Amino acid sequence: MENKSEERLPRFTDDPSFRLMLTLVAIVQALAVIIGFLANMWLGFALLLLFIVTIFLLRKVGQDIFSNINQYIINLSYRIKRGEQEALIKMPIGIILLNPEDEVEWINPYMLAQFNQEEDILGRNLSEVDEELSEKLLNDEEEDSFTIRWNDNIYQVYRQEDIHAIYMLDVTQYAQIEEKYEESRPVLGYLFLDNYDELTQGLDDRSVSNFDNLMATYLSNWCKQHNIFYKRISDDRYFLLMDRSELERLEAERFSVIDGIRERTSKRNLPLTISIGLSYGETSFDKLSEVAQNNLDLALGRGGDQAIVRPFDGDPRYYGGKTNPMEKRTRVRSRMISQALGDLIRQSETVFVMGHKHPDFDALGSSLGIRRIAQMNRKECWVVVDPDDLATDVRKLMNEVEKDNQLSRYIITPQAAKEMVTENSLVVLVDHHKPSMSIAPELLQKTKKSVIIDHHRRGEEFPENPMLVYIEPYASSTAELVTEMFEYVSDEGDPIIKIEATALLGGIVVDTNNFSLRTGSRTFNAASYLQSVGADSTMIQKLLKEEPEVYLQRSHLISTMEFVRRGLAIASGENDRIYSPVVTAQTADTMLSLSGVEAAFVLTRRDENTVGISARSLGNVNVQFIMEKMGGGGHLSNAATQIKEQTVEEVKEELVRILQEELDE
């Protein structure tokens, strides 16, 4: 046994260096013995005896050392092997060994206990033992490590493909800690009473106090039910603080507080709407506060009556927005915007104004109106128009504009604008606010000065640091907003001319569908002013006359109409046929006039790579939210989107799916 153990242990005496050292020692001792014999015989015998005894003792001690070391190694090896066996059997990690056919070849006792089965598992296919576990473990994921939930526990799974081994570590406790940590993370936000000033303006002090008490009671109860800390920081503004779990609860309720406050105050003939902006994420409180404020600004820019939730580094989620926005535009604000725009124009080297791609009457008319305002402020302004991207009616309008030599010389192409723009140029976006929709978005990159005048609800995409923003979702059109500015422009320059007034009036007529949609008293006032300065309504009717082919195309699209659910109608064109955006929009308007149609969606191919959707509703269905989910935007009752690299059928399937989800929610 001892010899076997010695064979297992490499002897260090076999080392050449060690042998050389022993040899040198032996030679030295032999020389000492010889010298001793030469000096004195008895001394020689004594040294020889000492040499023999030393060798004997060294051999004896060496054997004892080797024996002890070998015994220690044997014991250590046994303990290691036993520890490995005990670990495989008792450690709280599941181990499954499979063969190439996914049959269980071996399983450790810990994993076996998780199945709670009396039948023998060995030799059976894993899918027969537990189908759910088999689907999760034998998935097609390339990762060798992933997390699964099974038997009310959470496991970290490691796969070793070369030996078909699967290791499962129970991380339920750590996952619960992480989940609890995520649920308790802070959420900051602001709650704003949209039309508080307008509602309380005509009330006496006692009525205002009663109204404040009503709001304080309702908000206090709501915050108490949802464990929200709130603090009133001004008459119409509250600070909110909660954790993620309560935010998830609010989102599950789809922020019913918005509808609750509106309904309760409407019963008192004081219809109040609120807007909420919330933010959370891994960042500092000042950053969260900034994002929450931006979310609130976005909600107000979209017309209010809604909540927007956005993580610090994520995309926003929208709730509410079921009603048309309350009018907050006043003559005072129009005057302030007009004066601020005039100051910016005078301080700029050059001025450029442009509408959106595929411009309509509103975009072109507003552009011409801004150009005239710039001229009245003694500045030249260039209108950017792409002549290859004009619908039939807009092309007719451009033909009338080109008849005026003084006006037509200020119409330039996007290429010319890129060469002319400088850092000190002012770029005005009209009838849109998304840079990606601009005729020449490159202009915004070459200058730091931009102005936005729009009547669409604000979307997430927005120019960086615009100098002036005038977004009024309540207005019928951008042309209406621009028209109101003329009242406050100095009379130093030439006044508005007939074709400019006609283009502005045409924008109002088109966007209101002949004054039948989104029309208020301010709309008629603007139209009256334009008529007084020479707008030709007869010319507008001639410009808007459609060709027989357009009428037939619209009729053909309407013939494809089908109902997804009651009140929701979809019409679609052929995938190999291109329709103009005007035909698509007119078809949606016509469908909306039919009995039983609450919302209309028309899908057509715009070009070889783009499918467009025009969406209209009577107000009960928020088509803006639906179009935003498909990458577009617009108003509650008027929205659109464009989708690249898909067929009409694919876009239709996606639209139907989103409509089903919205209706289910």
For 50, 359, 473, 523, the CA distances from 535, given in Å and listed in that order, are 133, 20, 25, 15
CA atoms within 13 A on the CB side of 366: 31
For residue 661 the two structure tokens come to 């989800």
Q: What percent of the chain has pLDDT over 70?
A: 92
Q: Tell me, what amino acid is at 343?
A: D
Tokens 């009525």 belong to residue: 207
pLDDT value, residue 1: 42
Whose CA is closest to 376, among 482, 509, 528? 482
Q: pLDDT confidence of 350, banded at 50, 70, 90?
A: very high
* CA 129 vs CA 101, 114, 155, 533: distances in Å: 14, 12, 18, 85
Structure tokens at 431: 């009838």
Of 462, 452, 450, the residue nearest 426 (C-alpha): 450
- Residue 578 per-residue DSSP state: B
Residue 651: its pLDDT value, please?
93
pLDDT of 88 reads: 63
Confidence bin at 329 (pLDDT 50/70/90): low
Per-residue pLDDT at 3: 46
Q: What is the pLDDT of residue 160?
A: 84
Three-state SS at 420: helix
Distance, CA of 657 to CA of 15 (rounded, Å): 79
Burial of 325 (0-12, 13-18, 19+ CB in 10 A): buried
Give per-residue pLDDT as tens, 615-663.
Answer: 998 878 888 888 988 988 877 788 899 999 899 999 999 999 998 887 7
Range 474-485 burial, b when 16+ CB lie within 10 A, else e: bbbbbbbbbbbb
Q: How far apart are CA 109 and CA 122, in angstroms?
A: 12
Confidence tier at 217 by pLDDT (50, 70, 90): very high
What percent of the chain lies above the pLDDT cut of 90?
37
Question: What one-character DSSP code corresponds to residue 515?
Answer: T
Rounded CA-CA distance 100/92 in Å is 26
Tens of pLDDT, residues 118-160: 667 788 888 877 787 887 777 766 677 888 888 888 888 888 8
Q: Are strands 449-454 and 468-471 parallel, antiparallel or unpaired?
A: parallel
pLDDT band for position 417 (cuts 50, 70, 90):
very high
Could you give the angle at the alpha carbon of 142 between the alpha carbons of 136 and 146, nearest 5°? 50
Does residue 620 or residue 605 have the better pLDDT? Answer: 605
558, pLDDT greater than 90: yes
Region of poorest pLDDT, from 246-250, 372-376, 515-519: 515-519
- Tokens in use for 590? 């016509």
Tally of CB atoms within 10 A around 411: 19
From 4-13, 31-40, 201-210, the region with the lowest mean pLDDT: 4-13
Q: Model confidence over 280-306: pLDDT tens digits? A: 998 899 999 999 998 998 888 777 888
| pLDDT value at 428 more than 90 | yes
- As to burial, measured by CB atoms within 10 angstroms (0-12 exposed, 13-18 middle, 19+ buried), residue 228 is buried
User: Strand, coil or helix: what is 2?
Assistant: helix
- Beta strands 426-430 and 568-572: pairing type? unpaired
Q: What's the chain's length in residues?
A: 665
Question: What pLDDT, on the 0 to 100 scale, is given for residue 6?
Answer: 43
Neighbours of 563 (CB within 10 A): 11
DSSP 319-364: EE--SPPPP---HHHHHHHHHHHHHHHHHSS-EEEE-BSS--HHHH
Strands 638-644 and 633-634, by their bridges, are antiparallel
**Cα atoms found within 13 Å of the Cα of residue 523, Cβ hemisphere only:** 23
Q: What is the pLDDT of residue 443?
A: 92
pLDDT of 399 above 80: yes
Q: What is the pLDDT of residue 328?
A: 56
Residues 56-85 as b or e (16 or more Cβ within 10 Å = b): eeeeeeeeeebeeebeeeeeeeeeeeeeee
For tokens 């707008």, name the residue.
535
Answer whether residue 416 shows pLDDT above 90: yes
* Cβ-contact 567, 597 below 8 angstroms: yes
Q: Which helix (H) or strand (E) holds 635?
A: none
Q: What is the mean pLDDT of residues 533-562?
A: 89
- Poorest-pLDDT segment among 129-133, 397-401, 527-531, 605-609: 129-133
User: What average pLDDT does range 362-389 have in this prediction?
Assistant: 93
Q: Which of 18-32, 291-305, 478-492, 577-591 has the lowest mean pLDDT?
A: 18-32
Considering only residues 261 and 303, tell me which one the structure prediction assigns the higher pLDDT: 261
8 Å CB contact between 361 and 502: no
Pairing mode, strands 229-234 and 186-193? unpaired
CA–CA gap between residue 622 and residue 337 (Å, rounded): 30
Instruction: Share the mean pLDDT of the chain.
Output: 85
Least Cα distance to 350 among 253, 280, 447, 279 occurs for 447
What does pTM read for this prediction? 0.61
Residue 335: CB atoms within 10 Å: 14
CA neighbours within 13 Å on the CB side: how many for 367?
A: 31
